[in-house]
Structure 1
Amino acid sequence: MPGTTPSTPLVIAIDGPSGSGKSSVSKRVATRLGLAYLDTGAMYRAATWWCLERGVPLDDADAVAAEVAALPLVMGVDPQAPTVHVGGVDVAEAIRDTRISTAVSAVATNLAVRAELVRLQRAAIAAQGLPDSFSGGRGVLAEGRDITTVVAPDADARILLTASEDARLARRALDVHGTADAAAMLATRDQVLRRDADDSTVVQFHVAADGVVTVDSSDLDLEQTVQAVLDVVATVTGRAA
């Protein structure tokens, strides 16, 4: 990892809508800064996978909350090789399946589930301030729906990564279908726009809260977006890659 361990851990929080590039950008930024990486969206997907595997009706809010309270989840925080294990099973690929993408909002809008996962996310962030953690005490970059406002409102750098609707649909289509033609964009419309609409009933991630810096990646490629985020981090924290 680059540099020496700073005297205090660095916490970066990146929020934003589906298809804005949060995961790709966050992993690269975390790598450049020598930080751990926490994908909080994957935690909601893992909870959804677990409930479906155990036959829990997702419209039974109490039953879902009870399952998530005992969720055997282990998140790997290496930004170059993040992992997700549930009950000892590697679910990193399974949770990206369309079956999960179309169902995850039912779990993510469950307030009891959100409370439990927020608790786990805060614990994971705090753990990266310890010298025996993955980051060696350097800190963590956490990304997800309510990171900047609910989970880590006191993060050293808080960024809302956004993009136009067309840009977000094209990116998700390319990621899922390998092409961004009209048919592929239509096929991913539900995953991007409907999920955003559902999730926005319980958390705000379209408009930056006070103290949160907006980075619009609509006209930027991946490396340009990474640099824009690194510039924000350097400006607000004084720490450069």
Structure 2
Amino acid sequence: MAGALRGVVALDGPSGTGKTTAARELAAALGAGYLDTGAMYRVVTLAVLRAGVDPADAEAVAAVARQADVGVATSPQAPTARLDGVDVGAEIRTEEVNRAVSAVSAVSEVRGLLVAEQRRIITDAVATAGGIVVDGRDIGTVVVPDAGLKVYLHASADVRARRRSAQDSARGRESTPSQARTSVQRRDRLDSTRADSPLRAADDAVPLDTSDL
């Protein structure tokens, strides 16, 4: 089935719905590229934290984003995230980054810079691999509004909290479902109420409840 995908599949939804797993496996099955846009925002967030910048200071955050060299690989078998050429895949999944990423992602200039880069990556992947599966929170509404297939994944808060807690534990971080639920609900609130590109389903997206999947 290699090279079977032609064009773009957009997978959107809140955290804990299985976007990354679904996107990577679909891309691998179809011989397509894969792009985790959330990882790009996490890389910028890491750069902001390393610079000692307050994530709520939009002007300072934007200045860091302009200087940061954000790199991601589009192989579903080996996706990587780099900051200034160095692999930071583990560092961008820390709780410190989790707490700050929504604030950094809400900065309009950050979104503008990363959306432009995401579109470039997608265009290149379609030209070379024929297609790409992209996951995020604004893919079908902003990044690729003309994607051939848009899917909006959702799941109950309890299920997502259990998944996030299990992920944290697997990475060696202490986390209870209660703590994870608080974190998930906070992220949902911030992402869905930001002024620029809020989290929402595209009008033509196919809804998919992954609670029991």
Q: After TM superposition, is the score higher than 0.5?
A: yes
Query: Where does 1:77-88 land on structure 2 (aligned, <5 Å)?
Result: 77-88=74-85
RMSD: 1.7
Query: Where does 1:169-180 land on structure 2 (aligned, <5 Å)?
Result: 169-178=161-170
Q: Cα deviation per residue 1:37-86 (whole Å; 9 max; x = unaligned)? A: 10000111100001111222222211111221232011011111100111
AA aligned to 1:144 is G
Relative to structure 1, is the Cα distance of residues 5 and 165 closer, same or farther in structure 2, using a 3 angstrom cutoff?
closer
CA distance in 1, matches of 2:100, 2:166: 21
Mapped pair 1:20 → 2:17: yes
CA distance in 1, matches of 2:202, 2:89: 31
Note the C-alpha offset of 1:129: 2.0
Q: Determine helix, strand or coil for the equivalent of 2:29.
A: helix
User: Conserved in 1, the CA contact under 8 Å of 2:43 and 2:92?
Assistant: yes
Which contiguous aligned blocks of 4+ residues in structure 1 show a shift greater than 3 angstroms?
2-6, 203-206
Query: Where does 1:92-111 land on structure 2 (aligned, <5 Å)?
Result: 92-111=89-108
CA distance in 2, matches of 1:3, 1:24: 19
Structure 1 unpaired stretches of 5+: 132-136, 221-241
Q: Determine helix, strand or coil for the equivalent of 1:126.
A: helix
CA distance in 1, matches of 2:151, 2:113: 24
AA aligned to 1:61 is A
Q: Determine helix, strand or coil for the equivalent of 2:34.
A: strand
What residue number does 1:212 align with? Answer: 205
User: Conserved in 1, the CA contact under 8 Å of 2:24 and 2:34?
Assistant: yes
TM-score normalised by length of structure 2: 0.92
What residue number does 1:200 align with? Answer: 192
Note the C-alpha offset of 1:112: 1.4
TM-score normalised by length of structure 1: 0.81
CA distance in 2, matches of 1:191, 1:23: 18
CA distance in 2, matches of 1:60, 1:105: 13
Mapped pair 1:187 → 2:187: no
Structure 2 unpaired stretches of 5+: none
Bigger Cα Rg: 1
Note the C-alpha offset of 1:5: 6.8
